[in-house]
């Protein structure tokens, strides 16, 4: 009667979800930020993103070939890495350095660990750390966004170049050292929201990431726990510092909108591969990231701490998972 019937374990139906859909959603979530970068830094920004994406994808393909594994670029994870890496680079970065970063992200930080799902560190952040260590000056030269008509008079005195500008967080350091008065910097808060401050491609407009983050939450690509934990913990620390000494610290809102805080909360810390699995673990991880960012920003020597905060917490993820085991619905069974 029948020529062939298949035997396989249950279930025999499934949802339509795939890794490609998940990564595709992340890319859609990043789209507002990509568009914003295009508006602020024109073709240059899109070129940097393009270079990063292409070199990430090519690197992954080459690694697949070397390891004689099936091509994995179809899952779009390399594209996501490329975009996020580009978002963490200054617009004026030389293309050669963007390529070096991308190759490092995929070959060393991802494929050397075993590819998607096996990497310990967020590839984009690992690559950024590598670039920051190797090309310090180039990584901290900030182009003025096209949306800024003229340099703000109050801070132009400190600027020697007309095409580069310090980021709000760099100024925050100056505030802490008493070189600039806080309220001048606080005036940049709305600029950080709309995209009128200097910084990496992804550090300019808070709005773009809020839109993208909302999309990810609505699509349930990410859960709300990590973003909430990062923003709450960072917000509380920034607020405390500000309340204690308003003239010594920039306002907490600028801390949340400025720098890489929002892209970190919604797109980097939420990278499932390098974050804990359980809800409790996500809270610990998120609070860790948020607190470390603020610790580095306020106490540390660097103006921005997203990259190190994420990398440090990435390394703790497996440990957090081990200590945050789930309790079954029926409670922990009695030990025999």
Under rule CB under 8 A, residue 335 binds another protein = no
Using the contact rule CB under 8 A, the part of the chain among 102-110, 140-148, 241-249, 324-332 near another protein is 324-332
Cα(89)–Cα(130) distance, integer angstroms? 12
Query: Which of the residues 112 through 151 are near another protein (CB under 8 A)?
Result: 114-118
Under rule CB under 8 A, residue 333 binds another protein = yes
We find the least distance from the C-beta atom of residue 263 to another protein, in angstroms, to be 19
Under rule CB under 8 A, residue 319 binds another protein = no
Q: Which is nearer to another protein, 91 or 212 (CB)?
A: 212
Say which residues have a Cβ less than 8 Å from residue 241's Cβ, sequence separation at least 6: 248, 249, 252, 294, 298
Q: Which is nearer to another protein, 14 or 137 (CB)?
A: 14
We find the least distance from the C-beta atom of residue 211 to another protein, in angstroms, to be 22
Cα(61)–Cα(68) distance, integer angstroms? 10
We find the least distance from the C-beta atom of residue 281 to another protein, in angstroms, to be 9
Of the residues 6, 137, 160, 161, which one makes contact with another protein according to CB under 8 A? 6
Q: In the block, which residue shows the tokens 């899109």? A: 46
Under rule CB under 8 A, residue 21 binds another protein = yes
Under rule CB under 8 A, residue 158 binds another protein = no
Of the residues 14, 137, 160, 161, which one makes contact with another protein according to CB under 8 A? 14
Of the residues 273, 295, 312, 316, which one makes contact with another protein according to CB under 8 A? 273
Q: 299-308 burial by CB neighbour count: b if 16+ within 10 A, else e?
A: eeeebbbbbb
We find the least distance from the C-beta atom of residue 59 to another protein, in angstroms, to be 17
Query: Which of the residues 182 through 241 are near another protein (CB under 8 A)?
Result: 223
Under rule CB under 8 A, residue 153 binds another protein = no
Query: Would you give the binding string for another protein spanning residues 37-76, x where CB under 8 A is met?
Result: ---------------------------------x-x--x-
Under rule CB under 8 A, residue 304 binds another protein = no
Q: Which is nearer to another protein, 153 or 331 (CB)?
A: 331
Binding residues for another protein, total number by CB under 8 A: 44
Q: Which is nearer to another protein, 9 or 153 (CB)?
A: 9
Q: What is the 3-state secondary structure (H, E, C) of the chain?
A: CCCCCCCCCCCCCCCCCCHHHHHHHHHHHHHHHHHHHHHHHHHHHHHHHHHHHHHHHHHHHHHHHHHCCCCCHHHCHHHHHHHHHHHCCCCCCCHHHHHHHHHHHHHHHHHHHCCCCCCCCCHHHHHHHHHHHHCCCHHHCCECCCCCCCCCHHHHCCCCCCCECCCHHHHHHHHHCCCCCHHHHHCCHHHHHHCCCCCCHHHCCHHHHHHHHHHHHHCCCCCCHHHHHHHHHHHHHHHHHHHHCCCCCCCHHHHHHCCCHHHHHHHHCCCHHHCCCCHHHHHHHHHHHHHHHHHHHHCCCCCCCHHHHHHHHHHHHHHHHHHCCCCCCCCCCCCC
We find the least distance from the C-beta atom of residue 105 to another protein, in angstroms, to be 17
Using the contact rule CB under 8 A, the part of the chain among 3-11, 32-40, 168-176, 233-241 near another protein is 3-11
Query: Using CB under 8 A as the criterion, which residues of the chain lie in contact with another protein when the complex forms?
Result: 1-2, 5-19, 21-22, 70, 72, 75, 77, 114-118, 223, 272-273, 275, 277-278, 325-334
């Amino acid at each position: 009667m029948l020529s062939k019937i298949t035997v396989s374990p249950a279930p025999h139906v499934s949802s339509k979800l795939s890794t490609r859909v998940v990564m595709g959603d992340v890319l859609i979530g990043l789209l507002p930020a990509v568009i914003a970068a295009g508006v602020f830094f024109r073709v240059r920004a899109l070129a940097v993103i393009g270079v990063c994406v292409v070199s990430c994808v090519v690197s992954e393909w080459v690694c697949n070939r070397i390891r004689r594994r099936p091509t994995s670029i179809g899952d779009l994870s390399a594209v996501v890495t490329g975009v996020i890496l580009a978002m963490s680079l200054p617009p004026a970065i030389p293309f050669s350095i963007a390529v070096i970063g991308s190759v490092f992200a995929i070959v060393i930080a991802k494929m050397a660990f075993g590819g998607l799902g096996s990497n310990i560190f967020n590839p984009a952040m690992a690559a950024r750390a590598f670039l920051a260590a190797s090309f310090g000056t180039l990584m901290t030269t900030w182009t003025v966004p096209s949306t800024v008509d003229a340099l703000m008079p109050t801070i132009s005195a400190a600027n020697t170049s007309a095409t580069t500008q310090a980021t709000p967080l760099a100024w925050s350091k100056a505030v802490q050292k008493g070189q600039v008065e806080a309220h001048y910097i606080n005036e940049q808060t709305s600029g950080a929201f709309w995209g009128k401050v200097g910084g990496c491609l992804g550090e300019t407009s808070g709005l773009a990431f809020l839109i993208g983050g909302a999309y990810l939450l609505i699509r349930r690509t990410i859960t709300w726990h990590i973003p909430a934990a990062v923003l709450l913990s960072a917000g509380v620390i920034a607020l405390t510092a500000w309340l204690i000494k308003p003239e010594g610290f920039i306002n907490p809102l600028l801390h949340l909108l400025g720098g890489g805080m929002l892209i970190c909360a919604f797109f980097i810390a939420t990278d499932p591969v390098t974050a804990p699995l359980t809800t409790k673990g996500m809270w610990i991880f998120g609070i860790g990231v948020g607190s470390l960012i603020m610790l580095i920003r306020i106490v540390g020597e660097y103006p921005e701490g997203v990259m190190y905060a994420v990398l440090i917490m990435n390394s703790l993820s497996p440990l957090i998972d081990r200590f945050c085991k789930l309790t079954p619905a029926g409670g922990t069974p009695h030990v025999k």
